Amino acid sequence: MTTTDRRIVALSAGLSTPSSTTLLADRLGKATVAELGALGLTATTETIELREHAHDIVNAMLTGFGSDALEAVIERVTTADGIIVTTPVFTTTYSGLFKSFVDILDKDSLVATPVLLGATGGTPRHSLALEYSMRPLFTYLRADVATTSVFAATEDWAQERDGANTGGGSLHERTARAGRELAEKVALHKNTGPVDPFATAPSFEQMLGS
């Protein structure tokens, strides 16, 4: 990877196929890559659907050990230059699958990582879940969360299909603005990778020498 390359991971907790939650993640990823291009940076985006790893996530919660496939997902997420997280909203908060995945991450694995929040739901009344549920969660993890979050209600998709979703507050406009904010954070972020907890520990030879 060159100094101009950036890797974006779009993480979707959508439960159905096809999924509007995954569609939102894909759109936010494309918007971010386009904005990084405008900044002179090349970027790739990868969408990861948590539903494909749901059983492994539950097993990791119960046993404390993840499968090789799940560990590979965690590694791709925690070493990304920027992360987009999208979840459906159930009973005014994020899905249990989404929270379970976050719970198996090391609490220091997302420190300073640029993160963009997105959610989907049946009604705009659930949109505040982004601010009172998701934002505090990633603030606790000390991620660098973009100011703009994107909520897509059923009517947003319907208006877009009918060509009515074109105003300043449209889903398209909000997606573009959020992608621009994440791109600016990613452009400034220097990814040093996960912290090695044993990096400062003396080697066996050093201990013998002392």
- pLDDT (tens, 9 = 90+) of the chain, 210 residues, equals 556 699 999 999 999 988 999 999 999 999 999 999 999 999 999 999 999 999 999 999 999 999 999 999 999 999 999 999 999 999 889 999 999 999 999 999 999 999 999 999 988 888 999 999 999 999 999 999 999 999 999 898 888 776 665 555 789 999 999 999 999 999 998 765 544 444 445 655 655 665
| pLDDT, position 200 | 47
The residue with tokens 């230059």 is: 81
Three-state DSSP state, 137: helix
Q: Is 112 left (phi over 0), alpha (psi -120 to 50) or beta?
A: left
| pLDDT, position 169 | 77
| pLDDT, position 192 | 53
| pLDDT, position 123 | 87
Closest CA to 104 of 155, 167, 165, 56: 56
Amino acid symbol at 179:
G
- Please give the Cα distance from 96 to 94 (Å, whole number): 7
Cβ 33 vs Cβ 19: under 8 Å: no
- The class that CATH gives domain 5-209 is alpha beta
Strands 114-121 and 93-94: unpaired
Cβ 46 vs Cβ 111: under 8 Å: no
- State which H helix or E strand residue 179 sits in: helix 171-188
Alpha-carbon distances, residue 66 vs 10, 54, 80, 87, 132 (angstroms): 21, 11, 19, 22, 29
| pLDDT, position 173 | 94
- Please give the Cα distance from 20 to 17 (Å, whole number): 9
Rg of the chain over all Cα atoms, to the nearest angstrom: 18
| pLDDT, position 154 | 87
Domain ranges within the chain, ordered by starting residue? 5-209
Strands 114-121 and 82-90: parallel
Beta strand extents in the chain (DSSP E only): 5-12, 42-49, 82-90, 93-94, 114-121, 144-145, 150-153
| pLDDT, position 67 | 95
Amino acid symbol at 41:
L
